[in-house]
Amino acid sequence: MVHYWFDTREKLLDAVVEERLAPLIRRIWEPADEEREAALELVRGIVLRWLDVTQRNSWLPSLWLREVIQEGGLLRERILSRLPRERNVAFRRNIARAQAQGEINPDISPDLLFISILALVMVPQATAKGWQRVNPDVAVDRAQLERHIEALLMHGLSGAKAARRTRSPRRGG
């Protein structure tokens, strides 16, 4: 039946990406306003949308790691060619602008931030079952993962005292 509907494996893979994965990628990026949105809100929005997408599509994190991240993954080039490069460039510009204004840690690499967000969202979900076998008392849920990602992205590993010493003052509040 696969050959009847798709002729070749390549056409089947193209259909999987176009019909299932590309709409999910659009859900991440379309609501974002990389040019006007405050950098921290932009990052928070992207994280929350990734979490929403993976919560509704629990198969995505494992597939993403196996077929997109891994070198030689069958979907890698197809997905990479559909990522919105211009939006990613605008995202990186927004982060760099916020760094210049002292709103974001200057040691953060704008070029690596989106990749880091992907890792923070995808890896825990893709590996949760395996880690639970190692430690049966640990179950990662959406709320816990969201708090963890936000804490790492917004405050890093510094303790509360260190964070107070190094955190720049908030604007407008």
Phi/psi region, residue 7 (left: phi>0; alpha: psi -120 to 50; beta: rest), is: left
More confident residue, 94 or 129: 94
Between CA 146 and CA 108, with CA 101 as vertex, the angle to 5 degrees is: 45
Specify the pTM: 0.84
**Mind listing the pLDDT tens digit for each residue in 13-30?**
999 999 999 999 999 999
**Mind listing the pLDDT tens digit for each residue in 22-77?**
999 999 999 999 989 999 999 999 999 999 999 999 999 999 999 999 999 999 99
- Domains by residue range for the chain, with CATH: 2-166 (1.10.357.10)
| Helix pair angle (22-29, 39-56), 10° resolution | 150
| Residue 6 binned pLDDT confidence (cut-offs 50, 70, 90) | confident
Average pLDDT score over the chain: 88
User: CB-based burial of residue 50 (10 Å sphere; 0-12 exposed, 13-18 middle, 19+ buried)?
Assistant: buried
Q: Please tell me the predicted confidence (pLDDT) of residue 161.
A: 58
